[in-house]
Amino acid sequence: MAPSFDWWAKQSHRGTPVVVKMENPNWSMVELEGPSEEDFLITTESPGSGRARDKGHRDGKNAKQLTWVLLLKAHRAAGCLTSIAAAMFSLAAAIRRRVSSGQTDSEDADNDQVAGCREKENPTVKTRFYFCIRMFLWLSVFLLGFEVVAFYKGWHLGAPHFEFQLQSLWATPLGFKGMFDWIYSRWVWVRVEYLGPLLQFLANACTVLFLIQSLDRLILCLGCLWIRLKKIKPVAKQDESDKDLESGENNGYFPMVLIQIPMCNEKEVYQQSIAAVCNLDWPKSKFLIQILDDSDDPTTQLLIKEEVHKWQQEGAHIAYRHRVIRDGYKAGNLKSAMNCSYVKDYEFVAIFDADFQPNPDFLKRTVPHFKDNEEVGLVQARWSFVNKDENLLTRLQNVNLAFHFEVEQQVNGLFINFFGFNGTAGVWRIKALEDAGGWLERTTVEDMDIAVRAHLKGWKFVFLNDVECQCELPESYEAYRKQQHRWHSGPMQLFRLCLPDIIRAEISFGKKFNLIFLFFLLRKLILPFYSFTLFCIILPMTMFIPEAELPSWVVCYIPATMSFLNILPAPKSFPFIVPYLLFENTMSVTKFNAMISGLFQLGSAYEWVVTKKSGRSSEGDLVSLVEKEPKHQRGVSVPNLKEMEEEILQQEQKASRKKHNRIYTKELALAFLLLTASARSLLSAQGIHFYFLLFQGISFLLVGFDLIGEQVE
């Protein structure tokens, strides 16, 4: 009796289906069926012939299935190649547009915005650093050609009897075969006797600094891990009368709070910040909002005045201030506002930049930490970002800032009660500001300046990692580059000015050591110094002077480990760990230039440019704008939405014509330097060094052509 195959027929499709789905929607789904019931039928033919026929039939179907799978895989590979080719064509087109536009970082296309917010830079100082990079580039190109010729002549370290051949030429000056052989032998002698030891000493020194900084980073990460395991966090003191925070009665802790929002030509974001601050959940009679407008654009001034007037009519305690003499940038603006006569009636001051949007409960979660703790001078909240997923540049910034707040600020705040004030999203005790000497305009990092002086006076700081304030990240490389220049030149200015005060201050030796060595030298000076010199100068030079070398663990393993630790506070960014490592080394040229400018008081150290904002709202803002009905007030005309939309569209079109992507000459010069060194490393068969130099050179190339961040067509 033949076996039954009824169970097979219960399936919707006979056989074992193999479904292959193509990513390209132009391809359809193909089903490859396994053996059907007919393949198992037993006929009356001889056993030998039946088995042969069945075997041939199954082999034919298996071959057919294999052919289909191979074809589909070939189609998929072709699709990938097509995508790569399209991406390369797009990349080439973007590079061609950059080159044809001719806009470089030496040109200032935003003079209208920058003129009122920074000092003019000395062009001689600006080109000095670029000249040094070009010198290294041309030297590397010359040495590469020299080494290629020597390689094909047999003059390389891997050649047999190289040392014997070299010694014989040195012993007999007239024994060389040609002029090139004699020149190359002398060049090798100079390398061995002078250049190699010097470069190896510099490499070892930078490696030691690198290890010290990596150890500091590891200790901070261990401190953050301990905080998480023990669930340590600052806790505000409360009594029974403070528990009902929703009531506006005076039995709760509601001290007088002054809120300041400094601005300068930031018409994209002023509405968001003003609306967020006016909606703070705090008794109206207990806080006053100061809009400190330093704008030199009459249109922006008018728009901000109208927004303030609108909120005044809705009952908010808000005042508009505009300086006639705008000296001192942000520090001068804040100093001028603190000189108002009514400031003496307030106990605390909260500061928000123009793009920051505090939650309604911000004051209720920060101000209570001052209660019954007269030593606390500052309560700092962390930042969150509404546009962290906008492009690759914002994702990489989010990694850096997540580590800064989650690890650096939190660990320093809990264990030593000191960290650098972030300039915004913080609440100061006004008494602490006055005790520290108030705002000073001597540097471009007024926030760090006031924090250091307050710490020297004995005030303690509290960092709240669970209180977030939304803001924006720079979406263009130009804006990010200028921001980083200010953030890294200012600390070196401040270090020169504060060092005598730190030495003379009546604080413990541990606090002095933390301020001088850890806060300033290690994290503000050594980090950009070794990042640039070790990976952008010394490593390429070791390819042309192989007598000095960097081990693989310095080039690859420790940087990868440090990048892994840096990315832990932002776990969703793990796919970007390699771009993050390369981009951090790429940014080292900007940070190193800024550090040198601030340390030696060069022209660019006083550069102040307001970071460009895009005006992106959070989802909560958009929902509230949709749900909120317009209030018709007497004496106020209802705006025409169509006219407003047309005006906004015209402004955006006008702004887009001004915006453009640039070519960054220093980054391009370093890109070609690293690519030249990677080509030289092939002659020495240095595997990991070649790949690092190659990808780092490509990273510099992409940044040099401004292909990271916002793209303007």
Same domain, 289 and 348: yes
Query: What is the pLDDT, as a whole number, of residue 237?
Result: 76
- CA proximity to 493, closest of 607, 327, 353, 333: 607
Q: Looking at the domain assignment, is residue 639 inside a domain?
A: no
d(CA 106, CA 222): 43
What are the distances in angstroms from CA 85 to CA 80, 82, 90, 520?
8, 5, 9, 47
CB distance 290 to 321 below 8 Å: yes
Query: What is the pLDDT, as a whole number, of residue 249?
Result: 42
Q: Looking at the domain assignment, is residue 564 inside a domain?
A: yes
For residue 355, give both structure tokens. 């793009």
- What does pLDDT average to in each consecutive run of 10 residues of the chain (713 residues)? 40 45 44 45 48 57 72 75 66 65 55 41 56 76 76 58 52 57 82 91 94 94 95 80 45 88 90 94 94 91 94 94 87 93 95 94 95 95 94 94 96 94 96 95 92 96 96 92 91 94 93 94 91 92 89 89 91 92 93 90 68 62 44 38 52 55 86 89 78 92 86 63
- Please tell me what DSSP assigns to residue 709: B
Q: Which residues pair with 322 in a beta bridge?
A: 293
By residue range, what is the domain housing residue 419?
A: 257-389+409-473
Same domain, 217 and 312: no
Q: Looking at the domain assignment, is residue 91 inside a domain?
A: no
Q: Looking at the domain assignment, is residue 653 inside a domain?
A: no
- Please tell me what DSSP assigns to residue 104: B
Same domain, 469 and 482: no
Same domain, 330 and 376: yes
Same domain, 443 and 519: no
d(CA 386, CA 405): 16
Catalytic residue chosen out of the listed positions 293, 447, 449, 706? 447
Give Rg (Cα) of the chain.
33
Of the residues 440, 473, 506, the one at which a domain ends: 473
**Is 447 annotated as catalytic?**
yes
Angle (CA) 194 684 686, round 5°: 105
**Alpha-helical runs (H) found in 267-345:** 270-278, 298-313, 329-338
Of the residues 473, 490, 513, the one at which a domain ends: 473
Q: Looking at the domain assignment, is residue 182 inside a domain?
A: no
Query: What is the pLDDT, as a whole number, of residue 187?
Result: 84
d(CA 281, CA 468): 15
Q: How many domains does the chain have?
A: 2
DSSP 593-637: HHHHHHHTT-GGGG---PPP---PPPHHHHHHHHHPPPP--TT-P
Of the residues 473, 500, 528, the one at which a domain ends: 473
Residue tagged 């110094």 (tokens): 529
Same domain, 706 and 678: yes
Catalytic residue chosen out of the listed positions 294, 353, 355, 449? 294
Query: What is the pLDDT, as a whole number, of residue 134?
Result: 75
d(CA 454, CA 461): 9
Same domain, 218 and 350: no
Same domain, 415 and 504: no
CB distance 130 to 665 below 8 Å: yes
Query: What is the pLDDT, as a whole number, of residue 75?
Result: 75
Same domain, 486 and 462: no
Query: What is the pLDDT, as a whole number, of residue 102?
Result: 56
Same domain, 602 and 686: yes
Q: Looking at the domain assignment, is residue 196 inside a domain?
A: no
Same domain, 442 and 341: yes
Query: What is the pLDDT, as a whole number, of residue 221?
Result: 95
Q: Residue 368 is part of a domain; what is its CATH number?
A: 3.90.550.10
**The pairing of beta strand 376-385 with beta strand 460-471:** parallel
Q: Looking at the domain assignment, is residue 154 inside a domain?
A: no
Same domain, 701 and 566: yes
Q: Which helix (H) or strand (E) holds 225?
A: helix 196-230
Query: What is the pLDDT, as a whole number, of residue 95?
Result: 64
Query: What is the pLDDT, as a whole number, of residue 130?
Result: 67
Q: Looking at the domain assignment, is residue 293 inside a domain?
A: yes
